[in-house]
Structure 1
Amino acid sequence: MTDVATDYDIFDPGYVVEPYPVWAALRQRCPVAHTDRWGGSWLPTRYDDVVAFARDVEHFSSESVTVTPAIEGVPGIPADIKAPPITSDPPEHHWARRLILPVFAPQAVARYEPYTRELCASLAAEIAARGAGDGAAQYAQYIPVRVISKMLGVDESMADDFTGWIRGALEFGLTDPKAQEAAFLSIFNFLTAEIATRQAAIAAGTAGDDIISYLLQQTVDGEPVLVDHVLGTCVLILVAGIDTTWSSIGSAIWHLATHPEDRRRLVADPSLVPVAVEELLRAYSPVTMARLATSDVEFAGCPISKGDRILMSFPAANRDPEQFEDPDTVIIDREVNRHVAFGVGIHRCAGSNLARMELRIAVEEWLKAIPECALAEDDETTWAGGQVRGPRHLPIVITGGAAK
């Protein structure tokens, strides 16, 4: 049996399904673990350490945010393409982030709330009518992919393609370079064509109000935003805006199905849902983000070398007993909840308003349509792990009758 303090593997099936005991053990004996797997990385597990890494932009770059090296030399993908602002360091990061904040501001996100609610209500009603369904594949995974499609102004019929590409890029692709290359190539080709279409519409004076059109019409220091920057930002919005959110929604549905006391309390008092959403985000945070050391530096007694990767486990930070009372228990009305599910520091998730809205409405509409449910008896729940954790198959059965 390997020692997780010196040989952890974030892709290990056991770790993917149940990482919490690993984090708890590491906090006690080796709060910043190390492994040589996947090119080598460091894994902080304490809240304060994760926050410190995230805020230290002097020594740790966002140039590479995955545990495995970025793909390079793929025909059709620009060699210097990035995914700003998540892969940007100061000073570029500042203007790259300012560029997208308006489209994710609360008032901008509110535009998509009626659509999101109608979509969630329809999906939940279909599962309720059948008496069973997959809470991940037939519910959670449908929601953000369609909301993001609408925001980008692309045909919703692309949703299934997006789902396959995103899983190829961030799930299967992290351990299968060929799958990742194929997925990203499909994403780049699609978005490149969409950008060309928007450019033609702008030139003709018929620009739409979608995110792509918005970005193409912005300037920085009086100069138009480069098309490659727009392309990279759209890749980020498509990939990061979907995988993370459907993972959070799927985890929330899993919790509702496995914790009847919480589910029934929320059914009886829907006003608790916004607070419960924050607790579900804390307890089932999906994202572990990587940083790249830009110089030799010592951290918490660990000799980190230039080029080393650091995996900022926001999920582990959110289970730290030094920060959260009874951290492994979901307390749906938890009052003190300074979780870092959306990260912390300059790279805190710019799309957090959108993610919160989608998760809140997904929970509300699920509970309206399906107040009583449970995991299917054979419980074939499967989880994706690595750097984005969430259920991918979640067989649910309706119990006690669906809502009328």
Structure 2
Amino acid sequence: MTVDDRFTEDFHRREPVEEELGTWSEPVTGPVSDWATDFSHIDEQYAANAIEIWADLRERCPIAHTERFGGAWLPTRYEDVQAIAYDTEHFSSRAIIVNNYRPPLDLAPVGGEPPISSDPPFHHDARKLLLPAFTKANVAKQAVTTEAFCHSLIDGLAGRDVVDAATEYGMHIPIRVIADMLGFPAEDGPQFKVFVENALEGINDPMEEREERGNELFDYLLAQIRDHAANPRDDLTTHLIDAELYGQKLEPQHVAGTMALLLIAGIDTTWSAIGASLWHLATHPEDRRRLVEDPSLRATAVEEFLRAYAPVTMARLVKQDMTFGGVEMKAEDWVLLPFPAANRDPERFERADEVLIDREVNRHAAFGLGIHRCVGSHLARMELRVALDVWLDRVPEFSLADPSGVRWSTGQIRGPRALPLRIG
């Protein structure tokens, strides 16, 4: 079979057989009654006040529960989050975004977006395919073009008193970087933003709407795959098309699923980290002044921003009924892994709720724990470091223009989606 032959069918719209259907639960709506027994991570209050909610739960109910999404758990202590992240025997990664649909059991060990949705032993081999693209050496090559792009974004803000640093700066940086890596047209950036929001913030929407939006994403990816198959070039998409696993070319679903992972996760996580870091500096002028006056502090500050404002919460599915941390988990329950909550556990970090930009010992979990630790951590660090360097050098004076205008994203990726800053 040639490369072209693999991608001639509309593979993501095949009709599933009965045993592949998975299970759906009815959406639960309405305000949260108690974060310990009825939490919802897509609630606007959770988005705005997550740090305070985690602290409260850590004290009175370290593993919270909700009947929403068909049943889900939320540990808040580092010890519990770490234990679950490393336990691939009792927890599956075949789906990592909590919603009202559990994919079929036979989707494991590959999952829909390998390798992040893959269980052992498949996970190890699928992850190895991506490692060459994300080495420090390859990431360093992208730093120069990323810096130039950041300068161009700042140039575009010239003469303005108030700008939205989330949508006019932070968002565009990972969009451009990921587009370049995958070999996608840079002008498609606005579509990527829509794909991200649909995948991560619309999880409680009706099934039909979510399926339609998912099909739009995979239609786009399939078009890009076909174009690359016909016109190979030196990028990550062509690498995936040509890659072999166990002596065979990758299945079309594997190629498209991995591309979806890189596109969605590669954009939203770094966009959120850049925005949260700028929000902190806008609200803590003493830290902003220190980093402007002493750039040597910026490397440790980046790690502290990653710890204190880690954007990512992953999820697992319980494989079988079990007791964990004093609670009774049922098979197919969701378990959220809030790495940002773990990063603020006072049992793990001294002065955990303080942001110390010169913190020297900082073994944070911003990039996850266990076998699914972020394969793109070097890339994310580079983007965050370059974005902050360019901003602080070009815009040394800034503050919140309207605190009430700041909006944090809902769902499993947390970061500012609106960040009005006053420049000068």
TM-score range, shorter chain: over 0.9
Q: 1:224 aligns with which of 223, 243, 249?
A: 249
What pairs up with 1:141-180 in 2 under 5 angstroms?
Answer: 141-175=171-205, 177-180=207-210
Shift in Å, 1:140: 0.7
Name the structure 2 match of 1:110. Answer: 140
CA distance in 1, matches of 2:241, 2:326: 46
Partner AA of 1:40 in structure 2: G
The alignment partner of 1:139 has SS state of: helix
Gaps of 5+ in 2: 1-31, 105-109
The answer to whether residue 276 in structure 2 is matched with residue 240 in structure 1 is: no
- Residue correspondences, number: 388
2-structure distance, mates of 1:71, 1:25: 29
What are the ranges of 5 or more consecutive residues in structure 1 without an aligned counterpart? 74-79, 202-206, 400-404
Letter in 2 for 1:119: F
**Which residue of 357, 360, 364 corresponds with 2:389?**
364
Tell me the equivalent position of 2:307.
Answer: 282
CA distance in 2, matches of 1:331, 1:200: 51
Give 1:328 deviation, angstroms: 1.2
Structure 2 residue matching 1:5: 3-state secondary structure: coil
Shift of 1:184: 2.0
Q: 1:3 to 1:378 in 2, by over 3 A?
A: closer
Q: Deviations over 1:348-394 (max 9, x none)?
A: 01111111110010100010111000111464111112211111111
1:130 has 2:130 as partner: no
Cα deviation, residue 82, structure 1: 0.8
Query: Which residue in the other structure is 2:55 paired with?
Result: 24
Q: TM-score, normalising length from structure 2? A: 0.88
Structure 1 residue 100, shift from structure 2 partner? 0.6
Contact 1:38–1:68 (Cα < 8 Å) also in 2: yes
Q: Hey, what's the Cα distance between the residues in 1 that align with 2:329 and 2:173? A: 40
Letter in 2 for 1:136: A
1:183 CA drift (Å): 3.0
Matches within 5 A, 1:9-48: 9-48=40-79
Q: 1:190 aligns with which of 220, 223, 228?
A: 220
For residues 353 and 158 of structure 2, the distance between their equivalents in structure 1, rounded to whole angstroms, comes to 30
Alpha-carbon spacing, 1:128–1:167, altered in 2? closer, same or farther (3 Å): same
Counterpart CA distance in 2 for 1:67 and 1:368 is 40
Aligned equivalent of 1:260: 285
Distance change in 2, residues 1:382/1:353 (3 Å): same
| DSSP 3-state at the match of 1:7 | coil
Give the distance between the partners of 2:404 and 2:36, measured in 1 at CA: 31
Contact 1:372 1:398 in 2 (8 A): yes
1:91 equivalent in structure 2:
121
Q: Report the residue type matching 1:39 in the other structure.
A: G
CA RMSD of aligned residues (A): 1.7
Return closer, same or farther for 1:176/1:106 CA change in 2, 3 Å cut-off.
farther
Give the TM-score taking structure 1 as reference length: 0.92
Contact kept in structure 1, 2:409 and 2:416, CA below 8 Å: yes
Q: Report what 2:83 is aligned to.
A: 52
SS in 2 for 1:187: helix
Report percent identity of matched pairs.
50
Q: CA 1:107–1:378 in 2, change beyond 3 Å: closer, same or farther?
A: closer
Alpha-carbon distance, 1:85 to partner = 0.3
Change (3 A) 1:297 1:321: same
Alpha-carbon shift at residue 166 of structure 1 (Å): 1.2
Mapped to 1, the partners of 2:208 and 2:163 lie a distance apart of 32
Aligned equivalents of 1:129 and 1:101: distance in 2? Answer: 42
Query: How many angstroms does 1:172 deviate by?
Result: 3.0
